[in-house]
């Protein structure tokens, strides 16, 4: 962040501040205008940041009241303790807007986003409002934010939910709706990813602007194999894919089918052209009793490579588990059309037809 902050102090309402606002508005106007003319629908979200738990980095005066950003923040804290949350929220926002280190967008940027979205026919997604409504006491803080601007897992879930609702309203109810419980269960965030993120944030907080001079980040001693893997990835000993495969081996060793499935799904979605990755995810999902999701990945596997009998056998299994007997039979018959001597396909086809099996 120290490298990108060419101007570390930009007072609210200063000529440089107004230039930045104008540049942002002009860029947004041109971008949305281009999409509109091309007939491309746009969904644009408002900006949110940590208001409650991030004091101003550089305290500048409020041109309207004469109070500094630090004074607004101190007043917000007092009101917060008194449970006067509406007043506290206003003071927290004033403190954020007065912060002269412009990493957190002031409210004027959200106003510009709203105005431009209306003018250009874009769909506005009120991310700030969604996070505010989901926050404790209606004030966005560390319950949804990792540090000053990045949401944590819950924050990103709420952000995604805001966009999902807007997409459904625009496109109509999908054939298969995703409820919140399902969405949470299928979040593509592994334990290794979460830990790695925590380590990254710890390192971030040990550098400017959180501290004046960069200082080393000391991680706690790992207490289990998953923490060992996450720390090895953080230190550069393995890359992401290697970390995921090591985590998969550990989850299989401990019989944690649900987390093993989460890892294999992430690998399959990352390596979308790998039939083996799709097959591995599909098989693991079947083992985790998630046949519907497993069917999706097994179809991918057979679509990428229909010459591997194991892929098609697993597809037939998923179809059967979901009560799609005719589809399962058709898959087994397709195997035998190419591999007439395959004993496994013969056996399972005979089992489903009620005829004696020929091994």
59 beta partners: 99
Asked if 68 and 46 sit in the same domain, the reply is yes
The pLDDT assigned to 330 comes to 95
Dist CA 123 CA 35 (whole Å)? 12
The tokens describing 101, both together, are 């280190």
Q: How many other CB atoms sit within 10 Å of the CB of residue 52?
A: 24
Asked if 31 and 166 sit in the same domain, the reply is yes
Share above pLDDT 90 across residues of the chain, in percent, rounded to a whole number: 88
145 beta partners: 151
CB distance 287 to 255 below 8 Å? no
**Position 3 pLDDT exceeds 90:** no
Residue 273 within a domain: yes
pLDDT bin (cut points 50, 70, 90) of residue 6 is: low
Dist CA 296 CA 293 (whole Å)? 5
Q: Helices then strands (H, E): number in the chain?
A: 16, 2
Strands 123-125 and 43-45, by their bridges, are: parallel
* Residue indicated by tokens 């991680």: 219
Q: Which residues contact 39 (CB under 8 A, 6 or more apart)?
A: none
Rg (CA), the chain: 26
Residue 1 within a domain: no
Q: How many other CB atoms sit within 10 Å of the CB of residue 170?
A: 10
Q: Which of residues 169, 185, 201 is at a domain's end?
A: 185
Residue 245 within a domain: no
Asked if 77 and 24 sit in the same domain, the reply is yes
Dist CA 234 CA 220 (whole Å)? 13
Asked if 159 and 50 sit in the same domain, the reply is yes
- The whole-number average pLDDT for the span 300-315 is 96
Per-residue pLDDT tens for 69-114?
A: 999 999 999 999 999 999 999 999 999 999 999 999 999 999 999 9
**Position 358 pLDDT exceeds 50:** no
Residue 300 within a domain: yes
Asked if 214 and 311 sit in the same domain, the reply is no
The pLDDT assigned to 359 comes to 41
- Write out the DSSP string of 276-313: HHHHHHHHHHHHTT-HHHHHHHHHHHHHH-TT-HHHHH
Per-residue pLDDT tens for 212-268?
A: 899 999 999 999 999 999 999 999 999 999 999 999 999 999 999 999 999 999 999
| Exposure on the CB side of residue 63, measured as CA atoms within 13 A | 8
Q: Phi, psi at residue 9, to the nearest 5°?
A: -135, 105
Name the residue among 294, 299, 309 with its Cα closest to residue 344: 309
**Position 295 pLDDT exceeds 60:** yes
Asked if 234 and 307 sit in the same domain, the reply is no
* Residue indicated by tokens 């500094």: 68
Report the SS3 class of residue 99. strand
CATH of the domain at 325: 1.25.40.10
Dist CA 120 CA 26 (whole Å)? 13
Backbone dihedral region for residue 204 (phi beyond 0: left; psi -120 to 50: alpha; all else: beta) = alpha
| Average pLDDT over all residues of the chain | 93
Asked if 82 and 157 sit in the same domain, the reply is yes
CB distance 186 to 261 below 8 Å? no
The tokens describing 149, both together, are 């601007």
Number of domains comprising the chain: 3
Residue 44 within a domain: yes
Q: In this structure, what DSSP letter does residue 138 have?
A: G
Residue 250 within a domain: no
Asked if 179 and 204 sit in the same domain, the reply is no
- E-strand spans in 16-141? 43-45, 123-125
pLDDT bin (cut points 50, 70, 90) of residue 127 is: very high
pLDDT bin (cut points 50, 70, 90) of residue 357 is: very low
Q: Phi, psi at residue 99, to the nearest 5°?
A: -65, 115
Asked if 52 and 174 sit in the same domain, the reply is yes
pTM score of the predicted model? 0.86
* Residue indicated by tokens 């894919």: 241
Asked if 41 and 115 sit in the same domain, the reply is yes
The pLDDT assigned to 355 comes to 47
The tokens describing 357, both together, are 């099996």
Dist CA 311 CA 317 (whole Å)? 10
Asked if 195 and 174 sit in the same domain, the reply is no
**Position 31 pLDDT exceeds 70:** yes
Residue range(s) defining the domain that contains residue 286: 256-359
Residue 5 within a domain: no
Q: How many other CB atoms sit within 10 Å of the CB of residue 200?
A: 14
**Position 64 pLDDT exceeds 90:** no
Per-residue pLDDT tens for 178-201?
A: 899 999 999 999 999 999 999 999
The pLDDT assigned to 195 comes to 97
Asked if 149 and 205 sit in the same domain, the reply is no
Q: In this structure, what DSSP letter does residue 105 have?
A: P
- The whole-number average pLDDT for the span 10-16 is 91
């Amino acid at each position: 962040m120290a490298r990108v902050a060419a101007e570390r102090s930009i007072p609210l309402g200063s000529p440089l501040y107004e230039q930045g606002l104008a540049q942002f508005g002009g860029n947004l106007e041109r971008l949305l205008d281009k999409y509109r003319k091309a007939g491309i629908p746009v969904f644009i979200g408002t900006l949110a940041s940590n208001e409650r738990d991030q004091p101003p980095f550089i305290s500048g005066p409020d041109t309207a009241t004469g109070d500094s950003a630090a004074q607004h923040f101190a007043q917000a804290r007092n009101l917060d303790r008194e449970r006067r949350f509406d007043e506290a929220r206003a003071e927290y926002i004033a403190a954020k807007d007065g912060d002269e280190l412009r990493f957190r967008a002031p409210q004027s940027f959200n106003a510009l986003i709203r105005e431009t979205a209306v003018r250009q026919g874009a769909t506005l997604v009120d991310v700030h409002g969604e996070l505010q409504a989901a926050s404790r006491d209606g004030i966005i803080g560390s319950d949804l934010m990792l540090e000053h601007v990045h949401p944590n897992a819950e924050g990103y879930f709420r952000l995604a939910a805001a966009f999902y609702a807007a997409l459904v309203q625009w496109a109509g109810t999908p054939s298969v709706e995703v409820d919140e419980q399902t969405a949470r269960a299928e979040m593509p965030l592994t334990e290794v990813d979460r830990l790695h993120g925590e380590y990254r944030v710890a390192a971030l907080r040990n550098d400017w602007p959180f501290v004046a001079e960069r200082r080393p980040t000391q991680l706690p001693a790992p207490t289990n194999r998953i923490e060992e893997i996450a720390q090895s990835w953080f230190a550069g000993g393995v890359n992401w894919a290697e970390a995921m495969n090591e985590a998969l081996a550990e989850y299989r060793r401990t019989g944690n089918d649900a987390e093993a499935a989460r890892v294999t799904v992430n690998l399959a979605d990352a390596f979308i052209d790998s039939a083996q990755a799709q097959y591995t995810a599909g098989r693991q999902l079947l083992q985790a009793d998630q046949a519907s999701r497993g069917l999706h990945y097994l179809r991918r596997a057979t679509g990428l490579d229909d010459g591997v009998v194991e892929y098609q056998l697993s597809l037939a299994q998923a179809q059967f588990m979901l009560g799609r007997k005719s589809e399962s039979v058709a898959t087994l018959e397709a195997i035998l059309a190419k591999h007439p001597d395959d004993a496994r396909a013969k056996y399972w086809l005979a089992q489903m037809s009620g005829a004696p099996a020929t091994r």
